[in-house]
Amino acid sequence: MTDAGKPAAAGKPAGAEEPLPPRLAAALAGFERYLRAERSLSPHTVRAYTGDIRSLLEHACRDGVQTPDGLGLAQLRSWLAVQHGSGAARATLARRGAAARTFTAFAHRRGWLATDPGPQLGTLKTRRTLPHVLRQDEMEAVLADLDAAGRRAEQVTAPGSGSEASGAQAEERTAAAVALRDAAVLELFYATGIRVSELCGLDAGRLDQDRRTVRVRGKGDKERIVPVGVPALRAVARWLAAGRPELAAGASGQALFLGVRGGRLDPRTARRIVHERLRETGTVRDTGPHGLRHTAATHLLEGGADLRSVQEILGHSSPATTQIYTHVSIERLKSSYRQAHPRA
């Protein structure tokens, strides 16, 4: 896979696929079904893993392997060596190794491999970079601007304000609905720390205004309950009452957030919303939905939340994944210390 995210074997054009022998092709198809149906992995992860395993099987085929039982540790190691030689990043190599171990474990359970060579491959440790986060005052400035824009937009879409709207007035009402949506999107991202795919997958009925929670379906199709703050609930309620009806169409279904044509909001548009709204503020550094997730987690820890609670809120399966946010908080503390202490 190239570092841009598209699987490709070294030495052949990106996107070109070599035909696999029938039994290897059948094994790859079975592996893809397993990832989708049994592991319930996201479409992005399924594409990445199947692309990696196709690359592995193509490499093994060039080494004379025609059936899954011919795949061994030598082929796994030589395949990763080729990837390393072609300049693959350390994180990419780690993911490919994980994909290979997942595939060999799957093949062993199916009886295609007498022994599983995957555990002998080892695990490549990646260098974890500290995530970029916004300061609390930066987030306050962004959300204050969006709240003010939402209040103005609410007046435009109020009942009786242009029920027989001209073309220009209709455009104004649509723009107002979009402003209400965007304010609710950023408020909910920051309040909950949910992933962009989780936000786009929300239905209106998953938000409980009384209990101040939202039911989120995350990775592996796992559901969790996440608390929501009052400002975010207020922004979403304003969107549902005054904004969503302006964009709703036959394709809207129960989707909480909609695009301008009435369909469910997609992740690409959600990312664009975050980047554009932050850029409009002009006083904060650019980041995306994942940056807001990092920001929410860091601010929770800085406010005194325990690591286990933050892990539950973010939907991390392992506390080790959440641990990085404590490093962020410590780095910010050290930075403040160096600036403030006379003998730092």
Which residues participate in catalysis according to the annotation? 195, 219, 290, 293, 316, 325
What does the buried/exposed string (b/e) look like for 137-171 if buried means 16 or more CB atoms within 10 Å of the residue's CB? ebbebbbebbeebbeebbebbeeeeeeeeeeeeee
Which token pair is 297?
């987690």
Pair 229, 213: CB distance under 8 Å = no
59 Cα distance to chain centroid: 30
Which token pair is 104?
């060999």
Radius of gyration of the chain (CA): 24
Cβ neighbours around 301 below 10 Å, total: 19
Pair 308, 297: CB distance under 8 Å = no
Q: Is 223 helix (H, G, I), strand (E, B) or coil?
A: strand
User: Which residue, among 320, 313, 91, 109, has the nearest Cα to 216 in the 3D structure?
Assistant: 313
User: Which residue, among 29, 78, 75, 83, has the nearest Cα to 54 in the 3D structure?
Assistant: 29
**Helix ranges (DSSP H) in the chain:** 22-33, 43-62, 73-85, 90-109, 136-156, 167-192, 196-200, 230-238, 244-247, 267-281, 289-302, 307-314, 319-340
Secondary structure of 286-328 in the HEC alphabet? CCCHHHHHHHHHHHHHHCCCCHHHHHHHHCCCCHHHHHHHHHH
